Amino acid sequence: MCKPSCCNQSSSGSTGAIAVIIIALIIIGTIGPAVAAAAVHVIAEILEAVAIGIGSGIILAAAIWIAIAVQRARSRRQPAPIRLTARYEPASAPLVPVNQQSCLTCGDRRQIVRVIGNSRALVIRPCSDCQPSELAR
């Protein structure tokens, strides 16, 4: 008697599938540990970079917090009293409005102050516009 085609089981199809599964398991067994080790290494590197970043951020935040605390403490202290050492002396010549002055360089005082270079050296000289003869000496 003939069997219908649905009940006909051929052993060659299942043997090929089993062979493919066995070959796949062998490949996974040999390559799998190397891939797993590489994946673990990459994950460890990522975690290390994240830990370094978080640690750097915490250190930076602590340094900023300390700087702010120091500045607050300095600002709360009482400032030292200001002591004026200069004496108040009236000007030797009264100030004349600009439109009434004969010399705009010195303001009719006959002397000018000259700064030498970038230093604090000051030289009082005769005015070059009012007293040119004094400069020749």
Whether this prediction's pTM lies above 0.75 is answered by: no
**Whole-angstrom distance, CA of residue 112 vs CA of residue 70:** 47
> What pLDDT does 71 receive?
92
DSSP reduced 3-state for 107: coil
Judge whether residue 36 has pLDDT over 60: yes
Residue 107, pLDDT score = 74
In the chain, the percentage of residues whose pLDDT exceeds 90 is 24
DSSP state of 98: G
Quote the pLDDT of residue 72: 92
- The DSSP bridge partners found for residue 112 are 125
Count of CB atoms situated within 10 Å of the CB of 106: 20
Quick one: pLDDT at residue 52?
97
Q: Residue 34: its pLDDT value, please?
A: 85
How high is the pLDDT of residue 46?
95
Q: Which of 90, 130, 133 is nearest to 109 (CA)?
A: 130
**Which of 55-64, 67-76, 107-116 is predicted least confidently?**
107-116
